[in-house]
Amino acid sequence: MNESPVTALHNRVLAADRIVFFTGAGMSAESGIPTFRDALTGLWERFDATALASPQGYRADPALVWGWYEWRRMKVMQAAPNAGHVAIADFVRNNPTKFVEIITQNVDDLHERAGCTHVTHLHGSILAPRCFACERPANAALIETIPNEPEGGRRLFPPHCDHCNGTFRPGVVWFGESLPQAEFKHASAAAREAEIFIVIGTSGVVEPAASLVRIAKKAGAFIISIDPNETMAELYADAVVRDTAAVALPTFLTACIAP
C-alpha cells in the first residue's frame, strides 16, 4: 500500500539527521507580539518605519526611538511561547540523536523560553541593548521598566553607558545595518548542511536572511514551508503546509518524534 503524502513527509523528517527551523515574525505573532509594521499603529502610525528603525532616525530623535522600542520590549516580556514554540522544543528534546538548529529573524526570546538552546538570532535581541558609541552591552539595572501602555507613545531618553557616556540603543539590526557576521555565517553553514529546512512564518523577502532558503535548496535540503499565507519561500518549497505555526506544528511534529 502506498503511503499518504502526509505520512511520507513525516517519514522524511524522521529519517533526517540534520534539521533546521527557520522562523520569522509570524511565529511570534501568535504569542501576541505585533510584527514590525503591524506595531506602527495608534500613536506611532504617523511615523515612517525608518524613523524608528535606523541609525539616522536614532540620531535625529533618540527619545522617540528608545521609547518605542521600550514599549516593544515590554510586549515581548509580557508574551509567552505559543504552541508552535513548545512543539519545536518538544521535538528537539524527544529526538536527542538529531542535530537540530533554530535560526530566527525574531528579536524576542520565545524559542529559548520554550526550552530551545541552539538558537541563532539573525536580527539581534530587543532584550539586549548596547551602547550606540562603543557597542558594549547595557547593564540590565540601567534599563527602565515602563508601564504597559496599549499603544506606547511615551518618549524616553535612553540611559548612558557607564564606560564611555554614550547612549544605549536597542540591540536589534536596523535598516541599513549588516547582520551580525558570526551569526549569519553560522546560519549559512547550517542551511548548507541541512537535510530538512523548515520555513515558518516568514515572508521570504527580507535579505540577506531570505537567502538562507536558497542556500539550503541549492545544497539539496528538502524545504517545508509552514504559513497561512503565500510567501516567497514557497518558490523553493518541496512541501507547503497552509496554516499557522501554533496550529500546524504541534500536530506535524508530534508525528515526527522517533519511537
CA–chain centroid gap for 59, Å, is 26
Identify the helix (H) or strand (E) that includes residue 110: helix 110-114
Active-site residue (options: 123, 160, 163, 186): 123
Cell triple for 219 = 545544497
Instruction: Let me know if 118 is a catalytic residue.
Output: no
Residue 82 Cα distances to 33, 74, 180, 240, angstroms: 11, 17, 27, 21
Fill in the amino acid letter for 83.
A
Secondary structure letter of residue 171 according to DSSP = S
The DSSP H or E segment spanning 78 is helix 62-78
Residues forming a β-bridge with 120: 103
- Annotated catalytic residues are 123
